[in-house]
Amino acid sequence: MSTSPVRICSVDELPGPAGAVVADIEGRRVTIARESSGRLHAFDDTCTHANVSLAEGEIEGDRIECWLHGSQFEMSTGIPKQLPATAPVAVHTLTIDETDGSVYLTLAD
Ligand code: FES
């Protein structure tokens, strides 16, 4: 079951293009990332290979690369596309209120 949407910031406060930040959402570390195209993503911050922050990695296209061993995760699905990670990261839902630019996040299970 998903939680209710939580306002996390204004879209203007997010880094990018090709940037990422970490937010603590109800005790869960979540990466909010922006592709160079402007598309936004939200997913669990901890690499599934070891306990490091994915937000400190590098964004290339629709993927983020873990800085420690180079695993790449597709940001829209959380699926690893390059070893050594084999387990996906959970992906969360972002919505933007076009009237004021507020960004809302709904945590996945
Ligand atoms: S800790 Fe991320 S690939 Fe190893």
Write out pLDDT tens, residues 4-51. Answer: 999 999 999 998 789 999 999 999 999 999 999 999 999 999 999 999
Alpha carbon separation from 51 to 26, 46, 47, 68 (Å, rounded): 19, 6, 6, 10
Q: Strand 63-65 to strand 19-25: parallel, antiparallel, or no bridges (unpaired)?
A: unpaired
Question: Residue 99 domain-assigned?
Answer: no
Q: What is the CA(56)–ligand 1 centre distance, in A? A: 11
Question: Residue 83 domain-assigned?
Answer: yes
* Residue 58 structural domain: 15-94
Structural domain tally of the chain? 1
Task: Say if residues 22 and 47 touch (Cβ distance below 8 Å).
Answer: no
pTM to 2 decimals? 0.94
pLDDT of residue 16: 76
Indicate whether 2 pLDDT > 60: no
Q: What digits encode the pLDDT tens for the residues 60-100? A: 999 999 999 999 999 999 999 999 999 999 999 999 999 99
- The CATH number linked to 31 is 2.102.10.10
Name the residue with the closest Cα to ligand 1, atom 1.
50
Question: Residue 68 domain-assigned?
Answer: yes
Question: Residue 106 domain-assigned?
Answer: no
Residue 73 main-chain phi, psi, to 5 deg: -115, 135
